[in-house]
C-alpha cells in the first residue's frame, strides 16, 4: 500500500509509492514508445480497457463524460487511514481515491474545443465526484486537476482531468488556508473577495468577466501567463457549485482556455482547482478558485527547492495580451 | 528595474522582470540554436565575454574559480530596496545580486569531476561571496544553487553555480524557519539536529557520513533520489562555515554527486543551499543544509499548484542504491 509521509519541518505531505517502486534504470533508459496501433482506453468502444466505470453522463455515443479509476492509482481505495508516528516523523496509510474524468468521447478534441455546454458536463462530473467522496470520513481533501500535453505531464493524448482525494491537506492549500485565515482574523473579510474587488478597480490585470466569474492574471504570478478564475460570489466547496455556477464556471474556463490558446498557440498546460477542505466546506475565509498555468518554461529544482520564481512576463502584460489589446 | 511582488495569501515573493519582458512568441517559437563556433564565455582566454569580474581564486591557468555578475541579472545591484503597498498588495524594488560562480577553467569537467580540493575552492568562493554580501544592509538572504544540464534549467554547458541575494526571504526558507521555530519553541531543540540523530539510529535512509557531514535520503522526499547533506555540528550561516567545514562539505558533496552519477548515469540535477537569513545568522533553530535533486521526472503545474508530490521511489530504496547495496 502506498504511504503518505510528512516533512517534519514544512508539514508537507508526499505520496511514496512503496509498491511498484521504480528502479534507477526506469529513469536512465527512455521508456519504450507506445505502439501507435495500441487502442486508446478512453475512446468509445474501448470501455473494457479501463477499470470498472464509476459513473457516466449520457451522450449521443453512449456517454458524454465518463469517470473511471486511474489504472495506476497513487492511492488505495480500501482500508483505514491509519496514522503512525516514528520518532519525529509521521506517516498515514495511503488511502484515498485517484480517478480519471474523460472529458469527451472524441479522441482529438481538447477541453477548449468542447462547447460551453459540453464543458459544463465535465464540471458537473467534478462536482458529482467531489460530493460523493465528501461522504468518506477518512478523507480531508478532493483535488481536481488537469495535465494537458506531454510537457505538462499528461501520459495519454485523449483529453481527461484527474481527481485525487486524500486523508491529508496538500501543503499549498494548507498554506493558503492559513494565510487567508490570518487575513480574516484581522479584517473579518475574505482576502480573495478583497482581491476580486481590487482587480476590478485596478483593471490592469483583468482578463475577462463571465457569468459571475472573474478571470485575471494574479499580482504575483510564478509563471508567464498564469491566470486565475474566481467566482465573484463567495463560496468554497463543490457542494456550493450549483447548476448556475457550474454553467458560469464552464463558460469562464472555456473563455480562458480560448484566450490562452490564441495568444500562445495551444500550449501544454495544467490547471488545479482549489476548494475548501471536506471538514470545513463553508469556511468564511477561503474562496473557490482555479489556477491555470501554461507550461512554457522548465520548472527546475531551484524553483521547487526554494519556492522562488523568476517570471519574465509582468501579469499586466500577460493580461493585455489575453484581452487581445497587445 | 525588476520588481519583487508578494502573493497576499501565501506571502510568497516572486521576481517580475518588468524590463526585457518576454512576448508570447518568445515562448511559442523555439529559440535559435546557438552556433557551435560561439566562444564559451566561461573558458580561460574569453574572460572579456563576461561582465567585469567580481573575484577569482588563483590557479594554474590564471584562475581556479571565477565569480562574475550574471549577464542577464534577475535583480539590479544599485538603488534602495524601496517597499511599497498598493491595496492588499506589496512590492519591493528588485535590488540584490545575481552572480555566477564558474566552477573551474575546464569546459568539460562537471562539478563531480573536480578533486575534493578543487571543489573546496568552489565552496570557499560561495562563502566568500555570501559573507561579502552580508554587509549589504538592503539584503536579507543569499541563495546559492546549481542547475546542471538543460533539463535542470542550465543554459550554458560550462559548469557553474549561481548566487541570488534578495531583500526578501524565499518562501520555502521562510516556511522552514517557521516550522523549525515552532519545533524549537516546544522542545528547545533543533529539528534538524533531531533528524540527524534519528537518521543515524534508523540507518535505513543513510547514504554516507563524511568529515562531519551526513548524507541521507529525507523521510518525505518530493523527488526520486532526492538527497540532503547536513553538518553534524549545529550551525546555520556561511560565516560559520570555517576552513575545516568547507573542506568537509566539499568532500561530502563530491561523494554524494559521485554516488548519484554512478547510480543514475550522470543525470541532470539541481541543488540548493539553505542557510540562515542575514539578519539572524546564529538562529538556534535553523541548520545549514543542501538539497540535491536529480532531474528525472517532469515537474508539472500540478505539483507546483498544490505542493503535492507523488514519489515513485521510497527513500529507503534510493539510499540502498546510493550506498551500493542494491
Say what percent of chain B tops pLDDT 90: 85
Tell whether the model's pLDDT for residue B31 goes beyond 70.
Answer: no
Interchain contact, B153 vs A302, CB within 8 Å: yes
pLDDT, position B32: 56
Closest residue by Cα to residue B213 from B255, B183, B184: B255
Chain B interface includes A324 (CB < 8 A): no
Residue B160 is among the residues annotated as catalytic for this protein: yes
Report CA-CA distances (Å) from A257 to A113, A273, A313, B7: 9, 15, 18, 23
pLDDT, position A49: 95
Give the pLDDT confidence of B156-184 residue by residue, as tens digits: 999 999 999 999 999 999 999 999 999 99
Angle of CA points A213, A217, A221, to nearest 5°: 130
Q: How many CB pairs under 8 A join A and B?
A: 284
pLDDT, position B19: 67
Chain B interface includes A224 (CB < 8 A): yes
Q: Which fold has domain A3-323?
A: HIT family, subunit A (3.30.428)
**ipTM of the predicted structure?**
0.92
| Strand ranges, E, within chain B | 3-6, 13-16, 55-57, 65-69, 83-86, 89-93, 97-102, 141-148, 160-166, 206-210, 213-216, 227-231, 269-274, 289-294, 309-311
Q: Give the residue from B147, B259, B305 with the most A CB atoms within 10 Å of its CB, the best one to mutate.
A: B305
Interchain contact, A306 vs B173, CB within 8 Å: yes
CA atoms within 13 A on the CB side of A23: 3
pLDDT, position A33: 54
Interchain contact, B21 vs A223, CB within 8 Å: no
pLDDT, position A37: 61
Note whether B53 and B68 are within 8 A (CB): yes
pLDDT, position B306: 87
Tell whether the model's pLDDT for residue B256 goes beyond 70.
Answer: yes
Tell whether the model's pLDDT for residue B35 goes beyond 60.
Answer: no
pLDDT, position A17: 84
Interchain contact, B314 vs A219, CB within 8 Å: no
How confident is the prediction for chain B on average, in pLDDT? Answer: 94
Q: Give the residue from A3, A24, A98, A292 with the most B CB atoms within 10 Å of its CB, the best one to mutate.
A: A24
Helices (H), A79-224: 116-133, 171-187, 191-202
Chain A interface includes B264 (CB < 8 A): yes
pLDDT, position A303: 84
pLDDT, position A41: 96
Report CA-CA distances (Å) from B264 to A1, A23, A27, A29: 26, 10, 8, 10
> Edge to edge, what strands does the sheet with B65-69 contain?
B55-57, B65-69, B97-102, B160-166, B141-148, B269-274, B289-294, B227-231, B213-216, B206-210
Selected residue with higher pLDDT from A208 and B302: A208
Give the pLDDT confidence of A14-27 residue by residue, as tens digits: 999 876 678 898 88
Tell whether the model's pLDDT for residue B196 goes beyond 90.
Answer: yes
Q: Which residue of A has its CA nearest to B164?
A: A308
Give the pLDDT confidence of A129-163 residue by residue, as tens digits: 999 999 999 999 999 999 999 999 898 999 999 99
pLDDT band for position A36 (cuts 50, 70, 90) = low
Chain A interface includes B301 (CB < 8 A): yes
| Strand ranges, E, within B34-122 | 55-57, 65-69, 83-86, 89-93, 97-102
Please count the helices (runs of H) and the strands (runs of E) in chain B.
7, 15
Give the pLDDT confidence of A175-202 residue by residue, as tens digits: 999 999 999 999 999 999 999 999 999 9
Amino acid at each position: 500500500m502506498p504511504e503518505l509521509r510528512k516533512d517534519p519541518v514544512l508539514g508537507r505531505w508526499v505520496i511514496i509509492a512503496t509498491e511498484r517502486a521504480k528502479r534507477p534504470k526506469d529513469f536512465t533508459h527512455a521508456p519504450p514508445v507506445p505502439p501507435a496501433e495500441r487502442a486508446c482506453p478512453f475512446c468509445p468502444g474501448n470501455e473494457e480497457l479501463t477499470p470498472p466505470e464509476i459513473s457516466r453522463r449520457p451522450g449521443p455515443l453512449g456517454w458524454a463524460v465518463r469517470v473511471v479509476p486511474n489504472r495506476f492509482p497513487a492511492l488505495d481505495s480500501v482500508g483505514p487511514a491509519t496514522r503512525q508516528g516514528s520518532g519525529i516523523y509521521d506517516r498515514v496509510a495511503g488511502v484515498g481515491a485517484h480517478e480519471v474524468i474523460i472529458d469527451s468521447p472524441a479522441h482529438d478534441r481538447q477541453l477548449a474545443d468542447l462547447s460551453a455546454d459540453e464543458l459544463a458536463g465535465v464540471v458537473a462530473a467534478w462536482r458529482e465526484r467531489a460530493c460523493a467522496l465528501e461522504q468518506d470520513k477518512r478523507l480531508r481533501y478532493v483535488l481536481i486537476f488537469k495535465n494537458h500535453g506531454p510537457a505538462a505531464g499528461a501520459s495519454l493524448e485523449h483529453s481527461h482531468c484527474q481527481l485525487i482525494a486524500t486523508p491529508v491537506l496538500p501543503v499549498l492549500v494548507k498554506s493558503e488556508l492559513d494565510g487567508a485565515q490570518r487575513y480574516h482574523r484581522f479584517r473579518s473579510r475574505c482576502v480573495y473577495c478583497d482581491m476580486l474587488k481590487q482587480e476590478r478597480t485596478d483593471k490592469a490585470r483583468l482578463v475577462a468577466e463571465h457569468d459571475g466569474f472573474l478571470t485575471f492574471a494574479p499580482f504575483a504570478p510564478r509563471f508567464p501567463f498564469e491566470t486565475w478564475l474566481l467566482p465573484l460570489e463567495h463560496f468554497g466547496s463543490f457542494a456550493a457549485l450549483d447548476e448556475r455556477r457550474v454553467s458560469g464556471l464552464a463558460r469562464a474556463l472555456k473563455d480562458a482556455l480560448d484566450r490562452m490558446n490564441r495568444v500562445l498557440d495551444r500550449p501544454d498546460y495544467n490547471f488545479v482547482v482549489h476548494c475548501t477542505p471536506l471538514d470545513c466546506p463553508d469556511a468564511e475565509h477561503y474562496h473557490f478558485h482555479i489556477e491555470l498555468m501554461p507550461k512554457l518554461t522548465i520548472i527546475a529544482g531551484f524553483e521547487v527547492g526554494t519556492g522562488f520564481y523568476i517570471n519574465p512576463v509582468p501579469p499586466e502584460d500577460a493580461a493585455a495580451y489575453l484581452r487581445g489589446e497587445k
